Each structure stands twice: as structure tokens, then as C-alpha cells.
Amino acid sequence: MNTDTINNFFLIGSLLIAVSVLLSPLSSRLGVPILLVFLVVGIFAGVDGIGQIQFDNYPLAYLVSNLALAIILLDGGMRTRVMSFRVALWPALSLATIGVAITTVLTGIMAIWLFNLSWIQGLLLGAIVGSTDAAVVFSLLKGRSINERVGATLEIESGSNDPMAVFLTVTLIGLLTSASSEHSIGMFLTHFVAHFSIGIALGLGGGWLLWQTINRFQLDEGLYAILALSGGLVIYALSSSLGGSGILSIYLTGVVIGNKPTRGRHSILNVLDGMTWICQIVMFLVLGLLLTPSDLIDLIVPGFLLAFGIILISRPIAVWTSLLPFKNFGKRQRWFISWVGLRGAVPIILAVFPMMAGLPNAQLYFNLAFFVVLISLTVQGSSLAYAAKVAKVELPPKPVPSSRSGIEVYPKSEWEIFVYRLGAQKWCIGEPLRSLSMPTDTKVVALFRKQKMLNTTGRVSLKVDDILCVLGKEESLNALSELFSQAPETKESQDPTRFLGDFFIDPSIKLIDLAPLYAIELDTEHQDWEVKDLFNSKIGSRPVIGDQFRWKTLRWVVAEVVDDNIISVGIQLPKQ
């Protein structure tokens, strides 16, 4: 490779990345996922686009995509709260295993009929497109206030279902290339146990060792992120080389590190945030370059049928079947989870497997996987906000600080600076600082007015547009935000109180006392029930804010929860 070739590579690569970044605002204007923009840039730069770039190096694309996916999952794992596992772990695992298997079978049956494939070939195609994509789901749910149970289920599912899809894909390729069915069945069972057990063991154990390593060494701040990233990739590679799921291992590594007091945690997250963006851009650009759009012309009709068959048949059946044991998911929530079965980079990466194995119909698998991803990102991704509104799973936006940053005052420090700009409707306007009822272990450390810093003495009165810098910890964030910030207004939620109810009541009130007020006719069974008994019968244990159901013409909503106990219930009257 000469100097000119290297310079051209740098020039073209950096230009494509810059164009992708500059076009990213189009995603919000057009209502499409930002990752679709990156993919389309790659397609237009490819052989059939204006760039005319010839790229068909599948092993290189596989390498780049797996590296990018590993980093994305490490970041996603670090941002996943262990607390969310208490309400979503088992349903998410059911979706990630049983759900993927059902999707594979149903999609395979459709593929057999549409493309005249054998049973194993059809199931292979189903396995390739059978899992939801972590990069897409993390990207689209980021910043959205979704019902905790639903949001956590989708995030954990997308982070943990790739191993099942990889396992099924590799196994089916083995069946297509193996002459001995007995050997294949033995390989299937051994591979299944090893794939998940090794992946889980190395993810949890390796994550704990990496956490200990990070905390035991005093390094320059920027080096902690490099140590976390390199350690995560070591665990990923080791797990894969031992026959385990490297994808599952690195995701669990992120979960372990992200939920423990860790040196340089804030700098690690900041660096990984930038790394995740560059990985998403590069991964989707490379995958876009691989596609030859003219090859999809003959697949338009059957490809549309397969894509919408997955969206409207395979995914819903898989979700409803997988969630049958979990009664705390309402119908609307199940439909929403079905709709957010987004396909992204993973199906395209898996479609490279048959290409590298030299299987018949390998190009068909790749082109169909690409077609399914394009339809999924365009149709499902662009309608996510509307689907959340219809399903009533998007909560009113939470008040948040305008910015926040970590303060490493000592190793494993959890202190942060939260910045708030005071709006005109806040009660504290005109009040002196000393009158504020601040949460425990928080302190106003700076006050800015018209770009000038004022003394934070108790006699200073607050004014509109004052900027407050508050020292505190994450557990005080909700209380601080209630004091100083207001939720952003959105078109979808102009009246947040209406979502949680017209009236709010104590869950210990007896239904028989409410019946005359709301014209409720009680049967014998409910005569002695309290409101919380009604919620327990409808949604089960571990309620979350936004859980709701309709009963006796009223909509009943969980408005406030503390330690799995309902503190406040909202009642919404029928619309007149």
C-alpha cells in the first residue's frame, strides 16, 4: 500500500464520517432513526451510488462490525442499571431465547415459501434476521422516558439476544456443511451449553476482575477509559476463543463495571459515548458500502412480504408467547414491545457468515438481511414516537439538569455537578437561597446571573434565568430536578398530569368508599378490596410508574412508587 492509497483512504473515510455527522440532524426532521442516515450515506457512497466506491471485503466488514458492536455493547452495559433487572430480567431473557427461536422458525417458514429454500436454509435465514439490534434500540430509546418495565425489557433483550441468534446461525451453518446428523445434534447441545455458560461466567467474573484492576491502579484520567475498553475486548476475545458468547460477555462486563463505584467512571462513560458514536457511524457506513442496491430489485416484492411478515406476524407471536407467564405486561405494552423489534447491524453481520462459509444462496441471505433492516429502520424506527403514544408507555418527560459532570474528588467518587437554569414558573423565584429546602448531601456551589458569578450567600434572591451549579450525587437527582428544573415540553405530552390521572388517591383507600364517587358497581369479590389489591390483581408485584389498566370505565395509573410499593394512584375519567 503506497502513500497515495493511504492518503485516499484517510480522505474518503474522514469525508464519509463528516458527511454522516453533518446529515445527522435530518433524522429528527424526517422522523427517521439516525443510524438509517449513516447506512444510507454508505449506500450512496457505494458501487451503485454517487461515490462509486467498490467495496466487497466481507472479512474486513465482519471484523470492523464486530469490533464496533462489542464497544457499543460495553457502553450499553455500563449504562444499564442493575435495578432495572428486578422488573425486566426474566421477561427479557424469555424474549432473548424463546422469542428469538420462535421468530427464527416462523420467519424460516415464510422464507421457505417465498424463496423456495430447504428447511435448514429457511431456518438459517430466520436465524440471521431473528434478533433485535442493541445499537438501534439503545440509540432510539436514549433520552426517552419510557415505562421502566417496558424500556428495561427492550434494552436487556436487545443486549442479550444476539448470542442466541449467533448460536442458531452458526449451528445451522454447521448442519448445512456437516454430513453426520448425529455429530450435528451433539454439536448443537454442547455448543448451546458452552455458548451461554462461558459467556455468562466470563462476563461476570471478568467484569469483576476488570473492575478490581481499574480501582487498584492510579492512572491519568484519560487512561481509565482505555483500560476499561481494552479489558472489555480481552474478555470478549477470550470468551469467543473458548466457545462462549463474546457479545454476552462484554455486555455483562459493562453491567458489572457500570453498577459499582469505579475510578474514573465519569471519564470512562464520556469517552465511551464518543467511541460509541464513531463505532455506529463506521459500522453502518461499512455495511452500507457492502450493499449493491441493484441486486435488491428482483427481491422487492418477496422482500417486502418477508420484512412485513416479521414485523406483523413473527415478532408479535414471539413476543406474546414469550411474555405469557408475565401478567404485569398489559396488551398495549406487549404490542409496543412487538413493534420495537428493530433490526439493525447484527442481521447484516450474521449474513456475512454464509458468505465467508461459501454456502449456496449466501448472497440471497445477505441481500434479504439488508432489505429487512432497511424496512425495519424506516417503518418501525420512524414510527417509534407515535407507537409509544398509542401504547401509552411514554411517560411525561422528567425534569433534568441542563448538564452534569463528574467530580473525581477521591477514588471511586460519585460526586457530580448538576447545572440548572431557573424557569419563570419555579416557586423559588424571588426567594433567598437560605429558604431552599435542599436534599441531604447537596450544596449550591455557584450562582451565575447574566454570565457573572455571584456569591452564594443565603441572602441572595433567585431570579429567572439564574444558573445554579449544585454539588450532589445521583440519588439526589430527582429531588434536585423537582426543585430547580422543569420537564421539556413536547408535542406528544403537552399535559403530563393528564397522563398520570385527573385525580390522585391513596392506594390504601377501600374500593367500597370510592364506588359512590365514581359510579362504580362493585361485585361481591371486590367489596373488601383496597385500591392496592386491585393493582396487585391486574399488574402483579413490582409495579412501576405508568403501569395502568382500564376497570369500570376508569383508567387507573401508578403515579408514584417507592421500594416496589405504590404510594399514589392516578384515576383518569372517561373523555366527554
Report the distance separating Cα 122 and Cα 15, nearest Å.
Answer: 39
Q: Are 504 and 458 contained in the same domain?
A: no
Is pLDDT larger for residue 395 or for residue 498?
A: 395
Q: CATH number of the domain that 149 lies in? A: 1.20.1530.20
Give tens-digit pLDDT for 107-145. Answer: 999 999 999 999 989 999 999 988 887 778 877 787 777
Report the distance separating Cα 96 and Cα 74, nearest Å.
Answer: 18
3-class state of residue 396 by DSSP: coil
Could you tell me the residue range of the domain that residue 560 belongs to?
497-572
- Using the 3D structure, point to which of 360, 391, 422 is the last residue of a domain: 391
Q: Are 455 and 543 contained in the same domain?
A: no
Please choose, from the candidates 224, 209, 216, the residue with its C-alpha nearest in 3D space to the C-alpha of residue 265.
Answer: 224
Number of domain units in the chain: 3
Give tens-digit pLDDT for 461-478. Answer: 888 888 889 998 888 887
Backbone angles phi, psi at 331, to 5 degrees: -60, -45
pLDDT at 132: 84
Residues 6 or more apart in contact with residue 208 via CB below 8 angstroms: 256
Q: pLDDT grade, residue 257 (50/70/90)?
A: very high
Got the DSSP string for 181-211?
HHHHHHHHHHHHHHHHHHHHHHHHHHHHHHH
Q: Are 501 and 380 contained in the same domain?
A: no
Q: Are 365 and 475 contained in the same domain?
A: no
CA angle 191, 195, 196 (to 5 degrees): 130
Q: Are 82 and 60 contained in the same domain?
A: yes
Report the distance separating Cα 387 and Cα 391, nearest Å.
Answer: 6
Share of the chain above pLDDT 90, in %: 22
In a domain, 492, yes or no: no
Backbone angles phi, psi at 565, to 5 degrees: -110, 130
Grid cell 418501525 is found at 380
CB atoms within 10 A of CB 365: 28
Gyration radius of the chain's alpha carbons: 26
Give tens-digit pLDDT for 273-296. Answer: 889 889 888 888 888 888 888 888
pLDDT at 546: 84
Give tens-digit pLDDT for 301-318. Answer: 999 999 999 999 999 999
Q: Cβ(505)–Cβ(531) under 8 Å?
A: yes
Q: CATH number of the domain that 442 lies in? A: 3.30.70.1450
- Using the 3D structure, point to which of 341, 371, 391 is the last residue of a domain: 391
